[in-house]
């Protein structure tokens, strides 16, 4: 009953009402996204531009059983050319069959230093605790929970912070002491050797090692209150209220709306009934160079994992979606920790533009190259030296031909591994084909769409700014013939 006061507020939330409507309808004003200033960019981002969490579901890029086969015993090498966060690494390694015991090489690259820094911190947090996982079965559960909060929660407990400062930060302290007189732009490489055949090699500019060191400490000027205010200035910005209401109106149930609102408020990835009192320390890995929340207001941990699997996770509160994600990630991370404790893995982490990889990694070849990632995507006219490998295979960016030209020299030859593959994502291809083709292709089967949205008020569709009209508009692309358009 300790949390009864919190639960009373949640249970009385207007968002829980089945007849809830967005504020612009209740108050009779033009929604902010429909004003002349915003009309050209209906889904414009708000906030900072870093992508520290994935925005497409995690994938196993090796998928050994359906490619080389469960009995494959050769060594394996994987390049995540624009890795983003670690979710694809976690999914890929934890999906390897238990009988696989050969060497795995994993190269992680991202142009964004902050992404690279967090990946290094999380991996070192894991490696420095793996002996505990091997010694005590209960340790895996505890480390998995700590990983969830370091990765996703805006605030952490004193225990997690203490482990970060005592286990990970000293590894960076040693490097920084040794390179105090090294020129800022000079590349410094460090290799950590861990028991049972696990290594991590990290190459950064000298000045970035000091930034990495700082990400393990809460800045002296950052109080818990200031951190919360900085985050809420993005996640609960008053000027974005209409946008949030538009997103909430599309959620499956009122309970999902409430869960999303609560995560925006406290930034803690926890089941709804869990104690939040101990989470009083700002998560330092989010605060780099300035005391601002680093992501935009659409950043959501749910976007990085398969939503159907998350939704099917058993929880006491059946519609607590973030509670389901928490339990789901506990299982995923525990499996990853267990698998990692038995694998021989050599991690290499680099921080560069993906177009530099063929030179930087010359002489190396990979069985899988993953270029399927989110991030700020640079249009062809702007690309020069600034393009990130993400959905670069889309025609508006590098395109398929140039992506293959860039990365195929790093791919294992078919005579050595016929299953060697470049894995990519086309985020825009379907809509690009619609814009280049017949306008009829953009018209969905409205009758079928209405069957999926039976609660739509038909009369409200006469008003283009009604919540129902916008819901229908946002859903229309879900029923396009994507196979036909992609083949085109």
Give CA–CA dist 410/357, Å, rounded.
Answer: 9
Specify if 230 maps to a domain. no
Specify if 385 maps to a domain. no
The H-or-E segment that residue 237 falls in is none
Question: What percent of the chain stands above pLDDT 70?
Answer: 89
Give CA–CA dist 216/171, Å, rounded.
Answer: 11
Parent domain of 461: 430-487
Contact residues for 290 (Cβ-Cβ < 8 A; gap 6+): none
Per-residue pLDDT, averaged over 318-336, amounts to 95
Lowest mean pLDDT segment, chosen from 214-218, 305-309, 445-449: 445-449
Specify if 337 maps to a domain. no
Specify if 452 maps to a domain. yes
Q: Are the CB atoms for 76 and 104 separated by under 8 Å? A: yes
Give CA–CA dist 281/160, Å, rounded.
Answer: 9
State the total domains in the chain. 1
pLDDT for the residue numbered 427: 79
R_g of the chain computed on alpha carbons:
24
Q: Choose among 141, 204, 203: nearest CA to 336.
A: 141
Q: Choose among 175, 122, 193, 199: nearest CA to 153.
A: 122
Tell me the three-class secondary structure of 384-445, residue by residue. Answer: CCCCCCCCCCCCCCCHHHHHHHHHHHHECCCCCCCCCEEECCCCCHHHHHHHHCCHHHHCCC
The half-sphere exposure of 407 on its side-chain side, counting CA atoms within 13 A, is 30
pLDDT for the residue numbered 447: 82
Specify if 466 maps to a domain. yes
Q: What b/e string do you get for 166-178 counting C-beta neighbours within 10 Å, with b at 16 or more?
A: eebbebbeebbee
- pTM value is 0.91
pLDDT for the residue numbered 114: 96
Largest CA distance in the chain: 71
pLDDT for the residue numbered 439: 67
Give CA–CA dist 25/22, Å, rounded.
Answer: 6
Give CA–CA dist 20/248, Å, rounded.
Answer: 10
pLDDT for the residue numbered 37: 65
Reported as a single tens digit per residue, the pLDDT across 373-420 is 554 443 333 333 333 335 667 766 677 888 889 899 999 999 999 999
pLDDT for the residue numbered 42: 52
Collapse the DSSP code of 195 into the 3-class scheme (helix H, G, I; strand E, B; otherwise coil) and give the result: coil
The single residue listed with the structure tokens 């207007």 is: 14
Contact residues for 194 (Cβ-Cβ < 8 A; gap 6+): 127, 128, 130, 200
pLDDT for the residue numbered 385: 32
Q: Are the CB atoms for 284 and 42 separated by under 8 Å? A: no
Q: Choose among 390, 344, 354: nearest CA to 77.
A: 344
pLDDT for the residue numbered 7: 54
Specify if 449 maps to a domain. yes
The single residue listed with the structure tokens 């894995």 is: 423
Helix spans in 63-201 (H)? 87-94, 113-127, 130-135, 137-152, 158-163, 169-178
Q: Choose among 398, 395, 358, 394: nearest CA to 382.
A: 398
Reported as a single tens digit per residue, the pLDDT across 87-126 is 999 999 999 999 999 999 999 999 999 999 999 999 999 9
Beta bridge partners of 369: 79, 422
Lowest mean pLDDT segment, chosen from 41-55, 215-229, 370-384: 370-384
Beta bridge partners of 366: 411
Reported as a single tens digit per residue, the pLDDT across 35-47 is 766 654 555 789 9
Q: How many CB atoms lie within 10 A of CB 415?
A: 6
pLDDT for the residue numbered 379: 37
Per-residue pLDDT, averaged over 136-160, amounts to 91
pLDDT for the residue numbered 8: 57
The H-or-E segment that residue 307 falls in is helix 307-311
Phi, psi of 369 (to 5 degrees): -125, 115
Give CA–CA dist 117/205, Å, rounded.
Answer: 12
pLDDT for the residue numbered 355: 86
Q: Choose among 338, 246, 339, 327: nearest CA to 46.
A: 246
Specify if 458 maps to a domain. yes
Specify if 76 maps to a domain. no
Per-residue pLDDT, averaged over 442-462, amounts to 80
Collapse the DSSP code of 76 into the 3-class scheme (helix H, G, I; strand E, B; otherwise coil) and give the result: strand
């Amino acid at each position: 009953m300790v949390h009864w006061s919190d639960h009373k507020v949640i249970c009385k939330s207007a968002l829980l009402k089945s007849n809830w409507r967005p504020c612009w309808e209740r108050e009779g004003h033009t929604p902010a996204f429909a004003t002349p200033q915003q009309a050209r960019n209906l889904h414009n981002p708000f906030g900072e531009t870093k992508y520290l969490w994935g925005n497409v579901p995690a994938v196993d890029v090796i998928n050994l059983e359906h490619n080389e086969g469960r009995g494959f015993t050769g060594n394996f090498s994987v390049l995540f050319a624009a890795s983003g966060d670690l979710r694809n690494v976690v999914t890929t390694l934890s999906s390897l069959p238990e009988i696989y015991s050969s060497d795995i090489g994993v190269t992680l690259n991202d142009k964004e230093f902050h992404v690279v820094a967090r990946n290094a911190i999380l991996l070192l947090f894991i490696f420095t605790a793996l002996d505990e996982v091997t010694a005590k079965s209960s340790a895996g559960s505890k480390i998995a929970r700590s990983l969830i909060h370091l990765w996703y929660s805006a605030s952490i407990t004193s225990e997690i912070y203490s482990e970060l400062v005592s286990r990970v930060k000293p590894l960076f302290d040693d490097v920084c002491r040794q390179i105090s007189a090294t020129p800022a732009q000079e590349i410094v490489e460090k290799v950590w050797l861990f028991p049972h055949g696990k290594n991590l090699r990290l190459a950064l500019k000298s000045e970035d090692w000091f930034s990495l060191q700082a990400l393990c400490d809460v800045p002296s000027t950052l109080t818990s209150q200031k951190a919360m205010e900085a985050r809420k200035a993005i996640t609960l910005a008053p000027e974005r209220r209409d946008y949030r209401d538009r997103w909430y109106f599309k959620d499956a149930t009122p309970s999902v709306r409430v869960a999303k609102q609560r995560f925006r408020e406290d930034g803690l990835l926890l089941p709804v009934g869990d104690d939040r009192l101990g989470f009083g320390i700002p998560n330092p890995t989010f605060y780099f160079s300035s005391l601002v929340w680093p992501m935009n207001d659409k950043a959501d941990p749910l976007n990085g994992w398969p939503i159907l699997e998350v939704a099917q996770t058993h929880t006491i509160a059946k519609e607590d979606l973030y509670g389901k994600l928490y339990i789901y990630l506990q299982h995923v991370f525990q499996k990853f920790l267990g698998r990692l404790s038995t694998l021989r893995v050599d991690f290499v982490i680099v921080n560069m533009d993906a177009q530099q990889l063929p030179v930087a990694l010359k002489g190396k070849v990979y069985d899988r190259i993953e270029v399927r990632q989110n991030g700020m995507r640079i249009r062809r006219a702007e690309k020069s030296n600034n393009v990130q490998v993400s959905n670069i295979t889309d025609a508006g960016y590098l395109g398929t031909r140039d992506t293959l030209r860039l990365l195929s020299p790093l791919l294992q030859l078919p005579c050595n591994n016929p299953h060697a593959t470049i894995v990519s994502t086309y985020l825009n291809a379907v809509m690009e084909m619609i814009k280049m083709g017949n306008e009829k292709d953009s018209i969905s089967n409205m009758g079928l769409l209405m069957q999926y949205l039976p609660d739509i008020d038909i009369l409200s569709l006469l008003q283009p700014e009604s919540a129902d009209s916008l819901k229908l508009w946002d859903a229309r692309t879900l029923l396009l013939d994507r196979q036909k358009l992609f083949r085109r």
